[in-house]
């Protein structure tokens, strides 16, 4: 069990980030946070983008931690999930750059 949890850290991180972005987006739109504008976008969008970058950084750390595990099945899984989670965070965040916020 613990092995599985450690090995899926990358995807857990993705799930956390995804939920965070979705929840914040919902909250922000409901409370009119987009009305503050900044540097060609809304402050709200920049905050979301900032969080996205932090999440990506966290994802990189997860990969790094997986990388230094002792060689074996667990490490292979952890590295693969780390990369998947990192790529997932990158891709699922792209709408932050493209789409209208609310």
Partner 1 sequence: MNALRHHRALTEIWGTPRGWRGTMISVNHSDIGKRFILAAFAFFAIGGVLAMLIRAQLATPDSAFVGPAIYNQLFTMHGSIMMFLFAIPMFEGLALYLLPKMLGSRDMAFPRLSAYGWWCYLFGGTILIAALVLGVAPDGGWFMYTPLSSKIYTPGINADVWLLGITFVEISAMAAAIEICVSILKLRAPGMRLDRMPPFAWYLLITAMMMIVAFPPLILGSILLELERAFDWPFFDPAHGGSPLLWQHLFWLFGHPEVYIIFLPAAGVVSTVLPVMARTQILGYGAIVAALIALAFLSFGLWVHHMFTTGIPHMALGFFSAASALVAVPTALQIFAWIGTLWNGRPELKLPMLYLLGFFLVFVLGGLTGVMLAMVPFDGQAHDSYFVVAHLHYVLVGGFIFPMMAGAYYWLPHFSGRSRVPRLGEAAFWMILVGFNLTFFLMHLTGLLGMPRRIYTYTDDMGWTWLNLLSSVGSFVMAFGFALFALDVGLQIALSRRSRRNPWGAGTLEWAMPIPAPAYNFASQPEVADRDPLSGDPLLALKLARGEGYLAQARHGWRETMAVDSSSGAIDHVVILPGNSRLPIVTAAVTGCFFLSVLMGYYWMALLPVMAVIGLGWRWAWALGSRADVGPMAIGKGQTALVHREAAGGPAWWGSIFLLVADSVLLASLLFGYAFLWVVAPNWPPPQTIDGGLGVAIMTALSGSAAVFLARRSEASGRQGSLGMAGQTAIGAACAHGASAIGLLVIGITALPPPSNHAYAAVAWVLLAYGILHALVALLCAAFVRARIGGGYISARRFREFEITRLFGDYSGMVILIILLCLFMPSIAL
Partner 2 sequence: MIVGGCGGPLSTLDTAGPASSDVATLWWVMLSGAAMLTLLVLTLLLLAFSPRNRPFKNGGRLWICWLGVAMPSAVLTALLGYALILGEGSIAEPVPGRVTVEATGHQWYWTFRQPGSNSVIATRGVLHIPVGQPVDVRVGSADVIHSFWVPRLGGKMDAIPGQINILRIQADRSGVFEGQCAEFCGLNHATNRFRVVAHDERDWARFQQEGGR
Binding site for partner 2 (CB under 8 A): 87, 91, 94-95, 98-100
Q: Is 81 in the site for partner 1 (CB under 8 A)?
A: yes
Site track for partner 1 across 19-58, x = CB under 8 A: --xx--xxx-xx----------------------------
Q: What is the DSSP string of 34-96?
A: GGSEETTEEHHHHHHHHHHHHHHHHHHHHHHHHHTSPSSHHHHHHHHHHHHHHHHHHHHTTHH
R_g of the chain, CA atoms, integer Å: 16
The token pair that represents 5 in the structure block:
């949890």
Can you give the binding site for partner 1, defined by CB under 8 A?
1-4, 7-8, 11-12, 14-15, 18, 21-22, 25-27, 29-30, 73, 76-77, 80-81, 84-85, 87-88, 91-96, 98-102
């Amino acid at each position: 069990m613990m092995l599985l949890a450690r090995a899926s850290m990358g995807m857990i991180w993705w799930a956390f980030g995804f939920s965070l972005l979705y929840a914040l987006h919902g909250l922000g739109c409901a409370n009119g946070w987009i009305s503050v504008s900044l540097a060609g976008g809304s402050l709200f969008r920049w905050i979301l983008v900032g969080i996205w970058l932090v999440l990506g950084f966290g994802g990189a750390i997860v990969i790094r931690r997986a990388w230094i595990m002792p060689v074996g099945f667990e490490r292979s899984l952890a590295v693969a999930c780390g990369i998947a989670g990192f790529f997932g965070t990158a891709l699922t965040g792209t709408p932050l750059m493209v789409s209208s916020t609310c």
